[in-house]
Amino acid sequence: MRKDLSLFDEHTWGSSNSVALPYSLDAQAQFTDKAGLAFRPMALAEWLLAQRVRTRLAGRPEGLYLANSATMPLSGWVAMPASALRDKYESLEDPESGKQAKLYFENGLRPFSPPANPGELTRENTAATFPDNAPRQVAWFWVEKLEGRTVRRLRLSTKGVDEEMPVDDGSRKIEHDAAGWPTSLVWTGMPRPLFLPGTGDFISVGVKGFAPRWVAREIWSAGADRREQLRKERLEEIAATAGGKAAVDKNPNTIVYTQALRHPRLAWATRRLEVWRREPRARLTLRLNRTSSEAPEVFYMAFAFPCEGTMPATSCGGQPFVPFADQLPGTCRDYFAIDGWVYYASAQGSWLWVSRDAPLVTFGGPQVLARRTEPPKAMNRVLAMVFNNFWYTNFVGDSHGVMDFQFDLCWRPRLPPADAAPLAETLVSEPQVLIQPGLAEEAIPIRRLHRPD
């Protein structure tokens, strides 16, 4: 649904008013009318999913149920509002294996209550109405290898569990830059790292000069040699810098790096890298606050892989293709619409990059207005286009405020091409959670819920 909405949001029906007069009643009304056709179905789809989970598991014994709707095994954190727990639970137990998992609690939003002190408000909470950094608002627990298309039953417990921190046995090597941000991750058995330096970089491209969208049009319309000259003269590329040392948080399952970024087009930004201990996998999350501006600009998040000389594969609409190779003559090669993943297969293993939110990518570096026909040298560098308002019409001209983007990276000794898409889907999937009370289910509501075939 997120991917569909990202593409759906490209146009507003507002024509030229969307960019020339982005806050006019016409432009706002056009977008509101069209957006309702997407966001109402999204809300109904979430409701329908909840109904399907409820009716599917209504007859099962008391417990907490996890449903993996993806096709491959899933390992990772499961989050839920702490208010869903009706007792002072501290752990979970698998009744089949007897294994226990600790419940972790972190700060979050506490609605309908005043903040107790300034520490209960984050920098995002400019309204300062409800605290968004109140203690014990979100409950987390780890699930290991939840098989695809299966349901696992757990039991909530008030007993505490001490999870020992694993000893660093050298099976994983992490290198950092001067500010403590990881530049290389290698697990035992990997001939090359999961990623190269430059992964997690944030880059913007803007236009210098009077009436910038007309400057952009001049660049686009110029001949090849003149166009490259104009790109160098009139486009401004700015990379974010570290806002301080990366903070490190370790737990028995992951190692988490968090670092603030500084950039002139952002009120603030934070990048977070979560490293899986027991498998070559990492998740990078970017959270930013774009300051209001109607000037054209593009934001990228960069990733670099040790796959020099290897052409990536991806898909669009379920159809696999190799960028720059499997395309019709004259089609766009400055950026590519994809189904959310990019796959590299080499003699040294398979690397998979997955985006939860960004359906447009470019390769090598920012290719703004380049009109490329040949692949760049660094095809092992993927840049997710997380923001672009270069268009002339039919888009929201000044999207600003808080945005977040999530990316997953993993390595396998060998990943068949046919498994790239299912694995990508699994990496961004979240288990559905149902807490089943120890009470008899009322028959009438269940009969009136949606009952799947």
Of 352, 366, 373, 431, the residue nearest 143 (C-alpha):
431
Q: How far apart are CA 405 and CA 356, in angstroms?
A: 7
The pLDDT value recorded for residue 61 is 92
Q: Is the pLDDT of residue 378 over 60?
A: yes
Same structural domain, 9 and 125 = no
- 31: pLDDT confidence band, cut at 50, 70 and 90? confident
Q: Is residue 442 part of a domain?
A: no
For 60, the token pair is 């099962």
DSSP state of 125: -
Long-range contacts of 214-223 (CB under 8 A, 24+ apart): 216/296, 216/369, 216/390, 217/392, 219/369, 220/369, 220/371
**Structure confidence by residue, pLDDT tens digits, 311-370:** 999 999 899 999 999 988 888 999 999 999 999 999 999 999 999 988 899 999 999 999
Q: Is residue 449 part of a domain?
A: no
Q: Is residue 329 part of a domain?
A: yes
Same structural domain, 301 and 187 = yes
Q: How far apart are CA 142 and CA 263, in angstroms?
A: 35
Q: Is residue 355 part of a domain?
A: yes
The pLDDT value recorded for residue 174 is 95
Q: Is the pLDDT of residue 289 over 90?
A: yes
**Structure confidence by residue, pLDDT tens digits, 441-452:** 777 777 776 665
Same structural domain, 421 and 279 = yes
Same structural domain, 18 and 84 = no
For 153, the token pair is 């039953």
Tokens 């950094």 label which residue?
133
Q: Which residue has the higher pLDDT, 447 or 112?
A: 112
Q: Is residue 305 part of a domain?
A: yes
Same structural domain, 298 and 386 = yes
The pLDDT value recorded for residue 9 is 57
**Structure confidence by residue, pLDDT tens digits, 294-314:** 999 999 999 999 999 999 999
Q: Is the pLDDT of residue 8 over 90?
A: no
Q: Which of 121, 145, 163 is the last residue of a domain?
A: 163
- 292: pLDDT confidence band, cut at 50, 70 and 90? very high
The share of the chain scoring above pLDDT 70, in percent, equals 95
Same structural domain, 94 and 41 = no
Question: What CATH number should be reported for the domain holding residue 196?
Answer: 2.70.98.30
The share of the chain scoring above pLDDT 90, in percent, equals 75
Same structural domain, 228 and 311 = yes
The pLDDT value recorded for residue 450 is 62
Dmax (CA) for the chain in angstroms is 75
Q: Is the pLDDT of residue 380 over 60?
A: yes
Q: How far apart are CA 327 and CA 309, in angstroms?
A: 20
Same structural domain, 201 and 297 = yes
The pLDDT value recorded for residue 408 is 98
Q: Average model confidence (pLDDT) for the chain?
A: 91
Same structural domain, 245 and 351 = yes
- Domain assignment of residue 6, given as a range: 2-54
Same structural domain, 73 and 27 = no
Angle at 255 between CA 254 and CA 257, to 5 degrees: 140
Q: Which residue has the higher pLDDT, 389 or 378?
A: 378
Interacting residues of 294 by C-beta distance below 8 A, sequence separation 6+: 19, 22, 389, 397, 398
Q: Is the pLDDT of residue 4 over 60?
A: no
Q: Which of 117, 136, 163 is the last residue of a domain?
A: 163
Tokens 């000037």 label which residue?
295
Task: Give the chain's domain count.
Answer: 3
The pLDDT value recorded for residue 56 is 87
**Structure confidence by residue, pLDDT tens digits, 63-82:** 999 999 999 999 999 999 99
Tokens 């068949």 label which residue?
416
Q: Is residue 216 part of a domain?
A: yes
Q: How far apart are CA 452 and CA 53, in angstroms?
A: 10
**End-to-end Cα separation, the chain, in angstroms:** 22
Q: Is the pLDDT of residue 5 over 60?
A: no
Q: Is residue 445 part of a domain?
A: no
The pLDDT value recorded for residue 202 is 98
Angle between helices 212-221 and 224-234 (to 10 degrees): 150
The pLDDT value recorded for residue 219 is 96
Choose the weakest-confidence range: 15-24, 140-149, 403-412: 15-24
Q: What is this structure's pTM?
A: 0.93
For 227, the token pair is 């166009």
Q: Which of 110, 145, 163 is the last residue of a domain?
A: 163
**Structure confidence by residue, pLDDT tens digits, 234-268:** 999 999 999 999 999 999 999 999 999 999 999 99
Same structural domain, 274 and 306 = yes
- 34: pLDDT confidence band, cut at 50, 70 and 90? confident
Express the helix, strand and coil content of the chain in percent, nearest 5 each.
20, 35, 45
Which range has highest mean pLDDT (14-18, 193-197, 429-433)? Answer: 193-197
Give the other-Cβ count within 10 Å of 47's Cβ.
11
Q: Is residue 436 part of a domain?
A: no
Same structural domain, 307 and 395 = yes
